[in-house]
């Protein structure tokens, strides 16, 4: 699709991807701010695959600790 025929949603996504490439350290703060008003999809999309993996590991550890206390 030509850039001139780009929809508003496609333009927002392209600009967001460019910003993520320019400022990778700001992803975590942005993702948690979006998570407070958005959904899990926004959080995971902002974190990327590394951040998502770390978040899953943290949830597993928290679940394990909770299960130890409930026994």
pLDDT in tens, 9-57: 888 888 888 877 777 666 666 666 655 556 666 666 667 778 888 888 9
Indicate the pTM of the whole model: 0.42
Please give the backbone phi and psi of residue 41, each rounded to the nearest 5 degrees, phi first.
-65, -40
**Could you tell me the pLDDT band of residue 59, with boundaries at 50, 70 and 90?**
very high
pLDDT at 65: 94
Nearest to 38 by CA among 16, 11, 64: 16
In this prediction, residue 64 carries a pLDDT of 95
- Separation CA 44–CA 40 (nearest Å): 6
| pLDDT for 66 beyond 90 | yes
Say if residue 3's pLDDT is above 90: no
């Amino acid at each position: 699709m030509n850039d001139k025929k780009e929809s508003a949603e496609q333009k927002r996504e392209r600009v967001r991807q460019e910003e993520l490439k320019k400022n990778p350290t700001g992803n975590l703060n942005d993702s948690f701010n979006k998570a407070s008003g958005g959904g899990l999809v926004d959080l995971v999309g902002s974190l990327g695959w590394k951040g998502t993996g770390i978040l899953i590991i943290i949830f597993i550890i928290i679940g394990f600790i909770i299960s130890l206390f409930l026994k």
